[in-house]
Chain A
Amino acid sequence: NAGVTQTPKFQVLKTGQSMTLQCAQDMNHEYMSWYRQDPGMGLRLIHYSVGAGITDQGEVPNGYNVSRSTTEDFPLRLLSAAPSQTSVYFCASSYNGHTEAFFGQGTRLTVV
C-alpha cells in the first residue's frame, strides 16, 4: 500500500516557468489537499478537494491551480513560478476532511 505519492521530490525552476506537482493516493480517499511549508509559518492550505470534480481555495491559492478529474489524483500547477513560491509542498489525503490526514513525502521547490 503506497499511501500518498508525490513527485518530484526536488525541483528547481526559473522565474516564469510552469510546472505540475503530482500527487496520487491509493486509499480511495475523497478529501485531498495541498499545503506549503515555510520556516516559522507551519503548513498553509493552498487548495483542497472534497471529491472528484470539486475543488476549493484554501488560505494561499494565488499562483496555483488544481484539478480533480479522478479520486486518485490531485495535481498542483504553478502557472508562472515566482521566487516567493520557493517552499516545501505537501499533498495530503483523508477519508472525508475530518479524519486522519496522510501526507506525501513532500516536494522541495526552489525558484531562482
Chain B
Amino acid sequence: GQQVMQIPQYQHVQEGEDFTTYCNSSTTLSNIQWYKQRPGGHPVFLIQLVKSGEVKKQKRLTFQFGEAKKNSSLHITATQTTDVGTYFCAGIHNNNDMRFGAGTRLTVKP
C-alpha cells in the first residue's frame, strides 16, 4: 500500500536546540505537504513541496524534498516554546489520496 513513515515519534528539546523530523514514502509522491497541530487543535498547513530536490524556508523552518520524491524533512533551527506541537507530513499520490505520517510530537523545555 501507499505508506508514509515518519520519525521520530517524539522529540524533546531544550529551547534553542535544533529539531528535525523525517518522512519516507514507499512510492514516489506527486508532492508532499507539512502540517502543524497544536495540542487540542486541528492540523494547519505549513507548506507544499512539488519539485524533486526542492528546498523551501519559512523563517527558522527549512523543508526539503528528496531527489527521488520519496522522502522529505522539516528542520527547525533554534526552537522556541511556540514551536510545540505535532508535525505531520502528508504525501500526495497521483490517485488523489493524501496519506499522513504518524507525526512527530515536539516538546520544548524553556
Interface residues of A (CB under 8 A from B): 31, 33, 35, 40-45, 48, 50, 56, 58-59, 90, 92, 97-106
Residue B99 contacts which of A59, A90, A92, A101 (CB distance < 8 angstroms)?
A59
Are B43 and A100 interface neighbours, CB within 8 A?
no
Interface residues of B (CB under 8 A from A): 1, 6, 9, 30-31, 33, 35, 42-45, 48, 88, 90, 92, 96-103
A40 to B45, CA, bound (A): 20
A44 to B100, CA, bound (A): 7
Are B100 and A97 interface neighbours, CB within 8 A?
no
A61 to B33, CA, bound (A): 23
A41 to B4, CA, bound (A): 11
Which A residues are CB-close (under 8 A) to B1?
A: 59
Are B42 and A105 interface neighbours, CB within 8 A?
yes
**Would you mind naming 5 contact pairs between A and B with Cβ atoms under 8 Å apart?**
A43-B103, A50-B96, A92-B43, A101-B43, A105-B42
A41 to B102, CA, bound (A): 5
- Residue of A with least CB distance to B6: A42
A102 to B43, CA, bound (A): 8
Pick from B1, B6, B90 the residue with the most CB of A within 10 Å: B90
A106 to B44, CA, bound (A): 12
Residue A104 contacts which of B9, B30, B42, B97 (CB distance < 8 angstroms)?
B42
Are A45 and B99 interface neighbours, CB within 8 A?
yes
Query: A61 CB to closest chain B CB, in angstroms?
Result: 11
Residue B31 contacts which of A58, A98, A104 (CB distance < 8 angstroms)?
A98
- Residue of A with least CB distance to B4: A42
A82 to B68, CA, bound (A): 41
A73 to B37, CA, bound (A): 24
- Residue of A with least CB distance to B96: A97
Known: A40-B9, A42-B88. A103 touches B98 (CB 8 A): no
Which A residues are CB-close (under 8 A) to B103?
A: 42-43
Are B42 and A90 interface neighbours, CB within 8 A?
yes
Which B residues are CB-close (under 8 A) to A40?
A: 9, 102
